[in-house]
Amino acid sequence: MSSAPPVYVVDDEQGVRDVLIALCEDRGLACRAFATGEEFLAALNELEPGCVLLDMRLPQMGGLQVQAQMKSRGRPFPVIAITGYADVDMAVESMRMGAVDFLEKPFESAVLFDAIDRGLAALDGPRAGADSARNDPGSDGLNH
């Protein structure tokens, strides 16, 4: 696996999770999948900062609610909102909450990886000192 931050896939459809994980792993990205927003949020405090592929239409707690919870918990990882149903209001709100991109299913893998690259690059921007920690081979880049 690469030293890039992980990609988290949050989607209630098993087939979609499997495809997204396979695509990311084929590209050398570490991944972890979650079937619900609640499952992802339950693990959030233990997760290394990474890019989140977040389905907007999840059962019970939708993607916008997950984004709001991430922000309120001080864990605003870059989000790539994904949905099978185009909804302009949802897209605008997701972007307003900081989403890197909003992709409608089905999407091309090149479009997905462009968005993931921007999401992972966003992790480098605001985190002062992260580059020096990431470049130290004995460091995992986390403050323990």
With respect to residue 110, please indicate whether it lies within any of the assigned structural domains.
Answer: no
With respect to residue 141, please indicate whether it lies within any of the assigned structural domains.
Answer: no
In the chain, the number of structural domains is 1
With respect to residue 35, please indicate whether it lies within any of the assigned structural domains.
Answer: yes
Q: Domain of 53?
A: 10-87
- pTM recorded for the entire structure: 0.84
With respect to residue 41, please indicate whether it lies within any of the assigned structural domains.
Answer: yes
Query: The domain that contains 79 carries what CATH number?
Result: 3.40.50.2300
With respect to residue 101, please indicate whether it lies within any of the assigned structural domains.
Answer: no
With respect to residue 46, please indicate whether it lies within any of the assigned structural domains.
Answer: yes
The percentage of residues in the chain with a pLDDT greater than 90, rounded to a whole number, is: 77
Specify the amino acid at residue 15. G
pLDDT tens-place string over residues 17-32: 999 999 999 999 999 9
